[in-house]
Amino acid sequence: MRPDGDDRCPLCGAPGPFAGVPDMRKRLLRLCSACRLVFAVSADLPAPEAEKSRYASHRNGPDDAGYVAFLRQAVAPALPFLKPEMRGLDYGCGHTPTLHLLLKEAGLRCENYDVFFFPEWPQEPFDFLFATEVVEHFHRPAVEWPRMLALLKSGGILTVMTAPWEDLDAFRTWGYASDETHVAFYHRESLEWIFARYGLAVLDRANPRVWVLRNARKPNV
């Protein structure tokens, strides 16, 4: 449950009312006209037990060639900005961490964090973070984005993978919206709002669902 209920956008805080956006799960999502976030209302947010069960059913892992190829879409554009002496974190790694193995092939160190499966919160910030297919699961983006970014050093590299929406009518048939754990859908304008709000500079945008970003904020800002 969100502290403000559904009266304000869970990303930018703009007040409602919000236009309804039906999806293929027959949820009535909401559209924030200020930042263009499409979000599930509190009644449609999955309970933690249901969410963990859904993730545990995923067959993702290093033995799944399709999943490995999928992750490489995020790894490849980030590699030019990473160095062997850097220390990284796979934020939201899932029950069978895989991305850290791909980075190990490239001579990079990467640890794992997942709120359900590897819940020990890191004590020190990292030189780089990967958040692949994570931010669409944020129930409270205004809280969870800065919480994640607190783990990134000033000047550090953040790689985000998510599928942005372009057409509201497509939600009725968009497979990405069929997953009940997908509750925050970002438009290009939503992400631009986030990047400006938190001081993230875009380094690479070659893949339409991958952003490689630099934390341009100075320490303690």
Q: What is the CATH number of the domain that holds 99?
A: 3.40.50.150
Using CA atoms of 122, 128, 133, 134 in order, give the dihedral in degrees to the nearest 10.
Answer: 30
In a domain, 177, yes or no: yes
List, edge to edge, every strand of the sheet that includes 19-22: 19-22, 28-31, 38-39, 184-185
Asked whether residue 148 is assigned to any structural domain, the reply reads yes
Written as six digits, the tokens of 218 are 């100075």
If you search the block for the tokens 């963990």, which residue do you land on? 52
In a domain, 34, yes or no: no
Q: Please give the tally of structural domains in the chain.
A: 1
Q: Would residue 108 count as lying in a domain?
A: yes
Judge whether 134 lies within some domain: yes
Q: Are 177 and 168 in contact (CB under 8 A)?
A: no
Q: What is the pLDDT of residue 3?
A: 56
What amino acid occupies position 65? A
Judge whether 85 lies within some domain: yes
Query: Which residues on adjacent β-strands are paired with residue 20?
Result: 30
Domain contains 36: no
**Structural domain boundaries enclosing 89:** 48-215
Which pLDDT does position 125 carry in this prediction? Answer: 96
Domain assignment of residue 66, yes or no: yes
Task: Give the pLDDT of residue 4.
Answer: 60
Residues of the chain with pLDDT under 70: 1-4, 220-221
**For the whole model, what pTM was predicted?**
0.95
